[in-house]
A and B are shown apart, each in its own frame.
Chain A
Amino acid sequence: MVVFGQFLEVLIGGLLAGVLYSLVALGFVLIFKASGVFNFAQGAMVLLAGLALVRSLDFMVARGIPTWAAIVLALMFAAVVMAITAALIQKFVLGPLVNQDGLSLFMATIGITFVIEGAGQMIFGSDVYPLRLFPTDAWFVLGGIFDGGLLVSKIDVWGGLIAGALVAVLAIFFQRTKTGRALRAVADDHAAAESVGIPITWIWFVVWLVAGLVALTAATVWGTKLGVQFSIVFLALKALPVLIIGGFTSVPGAIVGGLIVGAGEKIAEVYLGQLIGGGIEYWFAYVLALAVLLVRPQGLFGERIIERI
């Protein structure tokens, strides 16, 4: 029972950590679906949102503004920063690159990543900034069944709740609103969507804005867990293998992929790590994605691609 209890604890911890990957992966999927852009900058956007949030929060708290008001204002400020970023990206990079092939767009987002990382840190600073939005202690559950109970971190549970809420909101946005439908039309065919009068620049701005807000959401959870710092960018990079596993175009895929990666790497770390040396978490997700690519290139939930010529 102890062995099983330990396994369950690792599994739960992994699944909840995986929810955070899902959060970032969602941002990728949104942009990819709507503009065909594979956005390498999503991690940098999480960093930028986190920095804007934590620095403005600290600034206001230090000036005696009540914490709850400061949090609301800081969230609004960070949202505005993300909106400005989205507008700049749309105007100066993606607008001029319309109809370029996916690889050029991808490389452009690597460029964007660097600009955001440089500018964000120059404006907001480059230290580690602790963020306290959610409780970070843990619950011990099921003490009656398992000796000592299972350790479940509260922040992870919060992350799970937020991710769930976000998915619900996004689903409604995509399926029920006019903008959401326009978004799906643009994803299918830019030129056709434009010709029926969908304002494509506006749509792309909205997509990047939504991705920015998703990044902000991820930043609140990750920032609380780890502090807002540069290495968030690399954690966010793990959303890439999550996408490969789930499929690039699938929102449920992003969620399930995140859970698989989160649980998989924790279990591998605990059980495999003892055998071949620790730190497997560092690469496990990528190698898993590689394996999935070889077996099922479109991912678990992706649509099969028919090539034409």
Chain B
Amino acid sequence: MKADVQERPEVAGAAHAGSDREIGDVVLSVENVSLAFGGVKAISDVSFDIRKGEIRAIIGPNGAGKTSMLNVINGFYHPNQGTITFKGRKRSVMRPYIAASQGISRTFQNLALFKGMSTLDNIMAGRALKMRRGLLWQALHWGPALSEEIKHREAVEKIIDFLEIQHIRKAPVGKLPYGLQKRVELGRALAMEPELLLLDEPMAGMNLEEKKDMSRYILTVNDQLGTTVALIEHDMGVVMDISDRVVVLEYGRKIADGTPDEVQRDQRVIDAYLGISH
């Protein structure tokens, strides 16, 4: 988690607390990535990077290839060209669970919770990678397996407290209201203790109150745990408020990249969002 960060003295010394957090080195870089399904190009030759500790927004009109980009980053889609470098390790093809084991976790645009399981089990499932006891111990549910289960339960309860979802701990998630499901999904992603958290439209379909809550959770996670966040969001107000840098995609190409202010003033971005007559 720290190795490449600590080379820079100003980052090593910085406390990941309060608002004076520091942005570190590049943790993930996407280089010349292209992705096509049959003849349809979803992403063409896109490059950008994500720095340690920042909140990076990916925006763009519908169909711009944002979700495909996240899918490429966590190994669900394999790019036709280009490379992804995460924590100094370059890769082009990998299985999603390996990306997960390297510290990338994810929420989804259309909820992808485990519908038949309780809130608690959903979040506990996020810790599957961290649980090591073999089948035989688990079959006994005793000794090391039990203490491991309790240890992770404690960690999960902290997340439940943080997200204020104690009251639905044992409820099956399939029947929860949408806003709460989004929260549970965030909880599941946090349970992996990720270094890079990918959020695919975390606030879609939420009312103002829920958006505020969700923004607060994201900022707190970023502030206090130092988690790097990459998010796709359509609410420009939220994006401009909470993100450090923004990359803009349109028709699978990158059209702008910079701070929220820079991006807002970019003529191509304005055109993409407002439309121009060609």
Contact = CB atoms under 8 A, between A and B. Distances in A.
Contacts of B76: 307, 309
A309 B68 CA distance: 9
B112 A306 contact: no
Contacts of A309: 71, 76, 108, 110, 112
B37 interface: yes
Interface string B89-133: 000000000000000000010101000000000000000000000
Contacts of A307: 76
B103 to A, nearest CB: 20
A309 B112 CA distance: 8
Interface majority SS on B: helix, strand, loop or mixed?
loop
A307 B108 CA distance: 14
Nearest to A307: B76
Interface string B60-78: 0000000000010000100
Contacts of B37: 306
A307 to B, nearest CB: 8
Interface residues of A, number: 3
Contacts of B108: 309
Interface string B216-257: 000000000000000000000000000000000000000000
A309 B71 CA distance: 8
A307 B110 CA distance: 14
A126 B171 CA distance: 49
Interface string B31-47: 00000010000000000
A307 B112 CA distance: 13
B100 to A, nearest CB: 14
Interface in A261-309: 306-307, 309
Contacts of A306: 37
A307 B76 CA distance: 9
A306 B71 CA distance: 13
A306 B76 CA distance: 11
A306 B37 CA distance: 8
Interface in B10-55: 37
A309 B113 CA distance: 12
A101 B37 CA distance: 26
Nearest to A304: B38
B79 to A, nearest CB: 15
Nearest to A306: B37
A307 B37 CA distance: 11
Contacts of B110: 309
B62 to A, nearest CB: 14
Contacts of B112: 309
Contacts of B71: 309
A307 B71 CA distance: 11
A102 to B, nearest CB: 15
Interface string A164-192: 00000000000000000000000000000
A140 B104 CA distance: 70
A92 B117 CA distance: 29
B220 to A, nearest CB: 27
A93 to B, nearest CB: 23
A309 B76 CA distance: 9
B58 to A, nearest CB: 16
Nearest to B70: A309
A201 B206 CA distance: 34
B264 to A, nearest CB: 30
A309 B110 CA distance: 7
B71 to A, nearest CB: 7
B109 to A, nearest CB: 8
B266 to A, nearest CB: 30
A65 B208 CA distance: 78
A306 B110 CA distance: 17
A137 B189 CA distance: 69
A51 to B, nearest CB: 40
B218 to A, nearest CB: 21
A121 B231 CA distance: 61
Nearest to B96: A309
A232 to B, nearest CB: 37
A303 to B, nearest CB: 10
Nearest to B108: A309
Nearest to B110: A309
Interface in A53-105: none
Nearest to B112: A309
B34 to A, nearest CB: 16
A100 to B, nearest CB: 13
B200 to A, nearest CB: 9
A309 B108 CA distance: 7
A249 B216 CA distance: 48
B183 to A, nearest CB: 19
B116 to A, nearest CB: 11
Interface of A: 306-307, 309
7 closest A-B pairs by CB: A306-B37, A309-B108, A309-B112, A309-B76, A309-B71, A309-B110, A307-B76
5 contacts: A306-B37, A307-B76, A309-B71, A309-B110, A309-B112
